[in-house]
Copies of this chain bind each other. A is one copy, B any other.
Amino acid sequence: MSERVAFIGLGVMGYPMAGHLAKKGGHQVTVYNRNSAKAEAWVKEYGGKSAPTPAAAAKDADFVFACVGDDPDVRAVTTGKDGAFSAMKPGAIFIDNTTASAVVARECHAAAKAKGLHFLDAPVSGGSAGAQNGVLTVMVGGDPEPYAKAEPVIRAYARMIALMGPSGAGQHTKMVNQICIAGIVQGMSEGFALAEKVGLDVAKVVEVISKGAAQSWQMDNRYKAMMEGKFEFGFAVDWMRKDLRVSLEQAREVGARLPLTALVDQFYGDVQQMGGGRYDTCSLILRLRDKK
């Protein structure tokens, strides 16, 4: 069924996600982007309309998607001036694909409820490749009823969609995902850096150990980039630091301890200082290598 949909935030993720909603989903999509040139480019590529504010984009939509940067951006496009909440129809559903805090998710959920709207936190994983191919994993927190309505629409850009629990549970799940990745990538970085120092053939090491207990998606898919030092792709260190910050804040709030996560967050700070803020997360190995 063709739905009236708005999409706010046409970044590396949002641009192709909105595209899948239009093309694969067959929905009528109105887009908003802070930099309007990108919105015009999107309309040229996919049809639909662009709007000058989140509110204008969201006005007639039954489903309003957003994929923006961080907590303040989520607030701006929802409850902020000219935010979507000021214009959305009663019963309309806001689906936030931003990776943000559970605090902002619950805040927006409550604000939406007060206005007769719905809010789902729905961060994604799968990176820019997953967004381009429309095969993202979507981790949703919120109420079952709007979830059931939104799920078929989300499917346009997702391979896996799951309701993880009440508001905030989508963000919590994404945190677990990022924390696991932090451990995997740092472990691999240390292992490979040692392998290089002792003169092992790292490709051969991976061939042998990736069949057993040391195997990971990161090992299978990132060791080549790590070996070749080609980091200009994938999921940026700057964003990973934001995700780890959100995780560390969450842990502090509930009294959980994340010692490795805290350390890896600092290590990513080293990579930023080396000029690698836009590099893929597997660039963590850089700080363990001797400078040439």
Chain A positions near chain B (C-beta within 8 angstroms): 102, 125-127, 130, 137, 139, 159-160, 162, 164-165, 168-169, 172-173, 175-188, 190-195, 197-201, 204-205, 207-209, 211-219, 221, 235, 247, 250-251, 254-261, 263-264, 267, 288
Write the nearest CB–CB distance from A260 to chain B, whole angstroms: 5
Nearest neighbor of A184 in chain B, beta-carbon distance: B184
- Starting from the known contacts A125-B214, A183-B186, 16 additional A-B residue pairs (CB-CB under 8 Å) come to A125-B212, A137-B209, A137-B211, A162-B204, A168-B198, A169-B198, A175-B191, A176-B205, A177-B214, A182-B187, A184-B187, A190-B260, A194-B250, A194-B258, A215-B217, A257-B288
Q: How far is the CA of A242 from the CA of B54 in the complex (A)?
A: 58
* Cβ–Cβ < 8 Å partners of A126 in chain B: 212-213
* Cβ–Cβ < 8 Å partners of A217 in chain B: 212-216
Nearest neighbor of A208 in chain B, beta-carbon distance: B162
Query: A173 touching B125 by the CB < 8 A rule?
Result: no
The residue in A188, A207, A216, A255 that gathers the most chain B C-beta atoms within 10 A of its C-beta is A216
Write the nearest CB–CB distance from A245 to chain B, whole angstroms: 14
Contact of A137 among B188, B199, B208 (CB under 8 A): B208
Query: A198 touching B186 by the CB < 8 A rule?
Result: no
* Cβ–Cβ < 8 Å partners of A159 in chain B: 211
Sample 11 A-B pairs with CB under 8 A, ordered by A number. Answer: A160-B208, A169-B200, A177-B191, A180-B209, A190-B260, A193-B257, A194-B250, A213-B218, A215-B216, A256-B288, A260-B263
Write the nearest CB–CB distance from A78 to chain B, whole angstroms: 22
Query: B165 touching A200 by the CB < 8 A rule?
Result: yes
Q: How far is the CA of A214 from the CA of B217 in the complex (A)?
A: 7
Query: B251 touching A194 by the CB < 8 A rule?
Result: yes
* Cβ–Cβ < 8 Å partners of A207 in chain B: 162
The 6 closest A-B pairs by CB, nearest first: A183-B187, A216-B216, A180-B214, A179-B191, A176-B191, A215-B217
Query: A188 touching B198 by the CB < 8 A rule?
Result: no
